[in-house]
Structure 1
Amino acid sequence: MHSTLIKPPAVDSSISRIENVLELTQLSDIDPDLFTNTRPLWHPPGARGIFGGAVIAQCLSAAQRTVRRDFTVHSMHCYFVLAGNAEIPIIYHVEHVREGKSFATRTVQARQKGKVIFTTTLSFVKEDSGGKVKVEHTTPMPDVPAPVEGNDDIRFPQGDEGPFQSQRAEILNYESPHPHTKKTRQWMKARGRISPSGGHEAHLSALAYMSDSYFIGTIARAHKLTRYSSSRTGNSKSTIDEEMLKKLLAMDDETLRRVPGIEDDDIKRLQLLREGKDISKEEMKPEVGMMVSLDHSIYFHNPRAFRADDWMFTEMESPWSGDGRGLVFQKMFTKDGVLIATCVQEGVVRLKQPPESKL
């Protein structure tokens, strides 16, 4: 098997890392509405498939290449159908659903081995079609500390080679007994500078890529769930990659606080594991058994009024979880407080179940 249809070219140093990661190849000789990933896609350690943000962003990139330049995406609604395989190329098929005077509609299906793994419908609006007099309002950005240069989160396995940077802020109402009142926050931006040749489309694709960063994970953080098994020697198994667990155990507490998804309770648990203690009898948080995205929607509010390589602030909250699923809302702002996107995601969030008693 090959992860791309064509041999990936050398990394283009004239464009940003995220532009290289999201690069598409148009299969014009077959169909001008067919595209494929130019480079291999990332499979996060412990995940069921490739990083969902990459498929979201590449579908957007493909659709953007089929509309006029004076049309800009304002919404996309996505469904994750099957886990993507990082060892197999993805074929993106763009369908022209509507060509209107003010709006255009596209659907994109991402396929592997003939099966749909992801589908999305996108709507584009003609620039400045709202008229001279408009109905306008926006929610303000909360007052939070600005990002600190050189204090980025530590991400595995990409590290400084990853396509974007992030910094977590403190969870609002973290000690509240009510998960729906908590808000998780972070700063993020594309690494390096997005090239002028990429246009506003490259910034939109980069935002779409980053919008999937620890999105459904908000549920786990709001409920203080863990991903670490109570015993490393028994039948219980950690739900994260074993190599990642080894790296976490080798870190000091201050470094651990810079790892996305690691909270103070997780650090306490890692301390006990590091000391080789049997903590199976300790009172610990429920453990995540399965967490995967089902759908993902993005509403772009000011699609040409931001740069994805400047710091953006995101705030996430969950109004509901139940029946093995959870829902999360996300607001994204520029550093100056302009609301640029609102996102919604539902995902599977299942707890590790206790072993069934044998009668």
Structure 2
Amino acid sequence: MATLIRPPPIDHSQSNIENVLELTQLSDIDPDLFTNTRPLWHPPGARGIFGGAAIAQTLSAAQKTVDKEFTVHSMHCYFVLAGNAEIPIIYHVERVRSGKSFATRTVQARQRGKVIFTTTMSFVRQNSGGEQLVEHAYPMQDVPAPIDGMDDLEMSGNRSPFQSQRMPIENDDSDQPHLKKCRQWVKARGTISPAGGHEAHLSAIAYMSDSYFIGTIARAHKLWRYSTQRKSKAKSSIDEDVLKKLLAMDDTELRRMKFVDEADIQRIRRLRNGEDLTEDATPEIGMMVSLDHTIYFHNPRNFRADEWIFTEMETPWSGDGRGLVFQRMYTQDGTLIASCVQEGVVRLRQSDSKL
């Protein structure tokens, strides 16, 4: 059962992402308890729920417990256990502090009594900084605008609640991964309803901020994410059914996939031609999962998540089985609306390891 309570009919006055992120308040038990109203989106090839769903729904739950003049400015999240898309999630909001200028909330997401995700977030009262401000922002680079009708293809009929258009990796030919930037345009599908308010737009960019975030490291290192070790008992880092679908695509279709790079296309082409890649020297990802996720929101009431947002990601470091990625999110006119950081497990497949 993917929800605790039978979902109501789809609200067609709301966007896809609003319906996906809708929460039900469990007032009869505790006014600070919430659960997902509808089944959560399961990304093709993923082992659990999309991490952005937990990020966005904990934010949505916390936003329901603060006064309207308060807006989130930061949230610090930890992925504790993999979420199961077939089990309802219970969100418990703890009202840590409600001050004059700032409010603090902690939210735990639980399945079967176990914490799978936890976050602490801070809210600030609107216009509490005064009339004179210290202001600056990292500028958005000059990039081609998104093209209507050129959204990345979907791997199945289970469409994501947001659209994306990936761009070529900047400095992709460099032998220094920290110099590369992975870039894409994203936006929520449809139009977010006026009833959703600024809260719906904030939850939507929180959701989209997890799009291929830790995967930046695999892309920067040109790592192979599909197992070629046919006799290995270890699971590959992506569902084998997805690899079969990729093998059936031509190069043009592959280039439109948001998680397939030129290095992947070359290997897929070799697999399609029947080449044995078991002796390939290219390292394979054995495990890649997010550990934590931080978002700093800027200009939180001055953007729309259903309009194109440019994101660029870069990785300053990886080592010891982990990696770190930074992300900036901009409106199409160049306004910086969020800065994000994520650390994750990034382990290579070991031929004789028990990792």
TM-score if structure 1 supplies the norm length? Answer: 0.95
Cα distance in 2 between the residues matched to 1:41 and 1:197: 22
Q: Are positions 1:191 and 2:189 aligned together?
A: yes
What does residue range 55-204 of structure 1 map to in structure 2 within 5 Å? 55-158=54-157, 161-204=159-202
* Greater CA drift, 185-194 or 38-47: 38-47
Check 1:237–1:78 CA distance in 2 against 1; reply closer, same or farther (3 A cut).
closer
2:340 paired residue number: 343
Cα distance in 2 between the residues matched to 1:33 and 1:7: 20
Match for residue 285 of structure 2 among 276, 285, 288: 288
Report the Cα offset of residue 237 of structure 1.
Answer: 6.4
Check 1:237–1:270 CA distance in 2 against 1; reply closer, same or farther (3 A cut).
farther
Check 1:113–1:255 CA distance in 2 against 1; reply closer, same or farther (3 A cut).
same
Letter matched to residue 22 of structure 2: E
Secondary structure at 2:167 match in 1: strand
Cα distance in 1 between the residues matched to 2:263 and 2:187: 28
- Alpha carbons 1:288, 1:349 under 8 Å: kept: yes
Q: Deviations over 1:42-101 (max 9, x none)?
A: 232332321110010000000000001110000000000111111111110001111111
Cα distance in 2 between the residues matched to 1:121 and 1:96: 10
Cα distance in 1 between the residues matched to 2:285 and 2:350: 9
Report the Cα offset of residue 238 of structure 1.
Answer: 4.1
What does residue range 311-350 of structure 1 map to in structure 2 within 5 Å? 311-350=308-347
1:208 paired residue number: 206
Cα distance in 2 between the residues matched to 1:96 and 1:134: 29
1:274 paired residue number: 272
Query: Cα RMSD over matched residues?
Result: 1.5
- Alpha carbons 1:43, 1:49 under 8 Å: kept: yes
Cα distance in 1 between the residues matched to 2:77 and 2:309: 22
Report the Cα offset of residue 250 of structure 1.
Answer: 0.9
* Greater CA drift, 56-65 or 239-248: 239-248
Cα distance in 2 between the residues matched to 1:89 and 1:56: 15
Cα distance in 2 between the residues matched to 1:52 and 1:327: 16
Report the Cα offset of residue 264 of structure 1.
Answer: 1.2
- Alpha carbons 1:294, 1:346 under 8 Å: kept: yes
Runs of 5+ in structure 1 lacking a partner? Answer: none
Aligned residues: 353
Secondary structure at 1:198 match in 2: helix
Cα distance in 1 between the residues matched to 2:121 and 2:232: 48
Taking only the aligned residue pairs, the percentage that are identical comes to 73
Cα distance in 2 between the residues matched to 1:245 and 1:189: 26
Cα distance in 2 between the residues matched to 1:42 and 1:262: 20
2:255 paired residue number: 257
Q: Deviations over 1:286-321 (max 9, x none)?
A: 110000000000000110010000000000000000
Secondary structure at 2:169 match in 1: strand
Letter matched to residue 291 of structure 2: L
Q: Deviations over 1:305-352 (max 9, x none)?
A: 100000000000000000000000000000000000000000000001
TM-score if structure 2 supplies the norm length? Answer: 0.96
- Alpha carbons 1:229, 1:236 under 8 Å: kept: no
Report the Cα offset of residue 232 of structure 1.
Answer: 4.7
Report the Cα offset of residue 263 of structure 1.
Answer: 1.1
Check 1:139–1:29 CA distance in 2 against 1; reply closer, same or farther (3 A cut).
same
1:39 paired residue number: 38
- Alpha carbons 1:231, 1:237 under 8 Å: kept: no
Letter matched to residue 276 of structure 2: D
- Alpha carbons 2:237, 2:288 under 8 Å: kept: no
Q: Deviations over 1:146-204 (max 9, x none)?
A: 11111111233356x32100001111111111111111000000000000000000000
- Alpha carbons 1:232, 1:238 under 8 Å: kept: no
Q: Deviations over 1:113-171 (max 9, x none)?
A: 11111100010000011000010011110011111111111233356x32100001111
Cα distance in 1 between the residues matched to 2:155 and 2:209: 18
Cα distance in 2 between the residues matched to 1:53 and 1:238: 22
1:15 paired residue number: 14
Letter matched to residue 161 of structure 2: P
Cα distance in 2 between the residues matched to 1:270 and 1:337: 36
Secondary structure at 1:105 match in 2: strand
1:301 paired residue number: 298
Report the Cα offset of residue 285 of structure 1.
Answer: 1.9
Q: Deviations over 1:230-255 (max 9, x none)?
A: 35577786432122111111111011
